[in-house]
Structure 1
Amino acid sequence: MAASVSSTQPQTLKRTVLGARRASNIFWASVLTLGGLGFALAGASSYLKTNLLPFSDPTQLVFIPQGIAMGFYGVAALGLATYLWVVIGLDVGGGYNSFDKSSNRLSIVRSGFWGENRRIEIEHPLEDVTAVRVAIKEGLNPRRTLYLRIKGRSDIPLTRVGQPIPLADLENQGAELARFLQVPLEGL
């Protein structure tokens, strides 16, 4: 009589990916909004000769060149802040990576900008996965990224964009995923 072996391994592995809704983006969008508003109001105060700022008196500024330069910087900062708030609101880059052995599918889902490409989805059979690759680039602009190698496709990034994740976390995530998919881990 043959003994039956029960598998205690999970059949699904799902990881969320942090998008644009990070504390650093919210901080910089807030700073740009407040700074841009201050510069724009200073430029407008200089033009109107009416003080629009409670903590300063920019009516003493000569509109050309000082007031117009402050107004330009204010409008530029507010434009950039608006872009950041929209990206944060849409959570661009946020999503998840899902690997399901029971359905033999992998799904990589990310949020994009509005329109028909708002939701980016990549699906493949698990047997097309050839390896999990770790890419580490140190220096002035460090990058620590986990990639999925799939037959017939370029490598697909699995980790968030922006602030690099700690090296130990990257290695652990890569090793866990390679073990789960039973593929080699490259790049270490």
Structure 2
Amino acid sequence: MSATVLEQSVLGSRRLSNFLVAAAVSIGGIGFLLASLSSYLGYDVLPFGHPATLIFVPQGLVMGLYSIAAVLLASYLWYVIAVDVGSGSNRFDKSTGVVTINRRGFRRPLSIEFPLRDVRAVKLEVRDGFNARRRVSLRIQGRRDMSLTRVGEPLPLAQLEQDGAELARFLGVNLESL
């Protein structure tokens, strides 16, 4: 961090949890496909269980449909991981007076720029429970609040407070919390 520029990197979809979910869906889809093939062919293709004893219509057919759904979902998950959707940076430049927020999207990069003078406050939002939310966002004049933190796993409270305080101190604005 220099005196005039603060740049923060944002983690995208290349997280361990996403890799584990994509791998589990892929393995499950292969398992359903092999069970469906075993049912159709009449002998066990899977090294465990006895899916050849299943009647192809309707049980083997439904397992084949499950395998197609799993392959489509796994393809989507692996694509999101490969592209690293959501990764990017937040850049606050006092010398030019511009805030630049860059993120990777599905098809193309997204970039938002607005004047630094429009930033009214740094807001910390903490909501625990089933749909937990912990994020740092900017209060911008004439716009909705702009979230700066990653999507997915909530940040630890200490990290959230430290990031928010550092940003508010750098920008010279108030730190708000809910």
Structures share fold, TM-score greater than 0.5: yes
Aligned length: 178
Which one of the candidate residues 143, 148, 168 is aligned to 1:178?
168
The Cα of 1:54 is off from its aligned counterpart by 3.0
- 1:103 is aligned, of 83, 96, 103, to 96
Amino acid at match of 1:131: A
Q: Which amino acid aligns with 2:153?
A: Q
Paired-residue identity, %: 53
The answer for the alignment partner of 1:158 in structure 2 is: 148
Partner of 1:12 in structure 2? 5
Structure 2 unmatched runs, 5+: none
Deviation, structure 1 residue 9: 6.0
- Distance in 1 between the 2:24 and 2:177 partners? 39
| Matched letter for residue 16 of structure 1 | S
1:51 to partner: Cα distance:
3.1
TM-score normalised according to structure 1 size: 0.89
Matching of residue 76 in structure 1 with residue 76 in structure 2: no
For 1:31 and 1:184, how far apart are their aligned partners in 2? Answer: 44
Does the alignment pair 1:126 with 2:119?
no
1:150 to partner: Cα distance? 1.2
The root-mean-square deviation of aligned C-alpha atoms, in Å, is 1.5
Q: Give per-residue Cα distances to partners, 1:127-155, cap 9 Å, x unaligned.
A: 11111111111111210011111111111
Q: Give CA-to-partner distance per residue, 1:64-108, whole Å, 9 cap, x none.
A: 222122222222122111110011111111111011112211110
Match of 2:16 in 1: 23
TM-score, with structure 2 as normaliser = 0.94
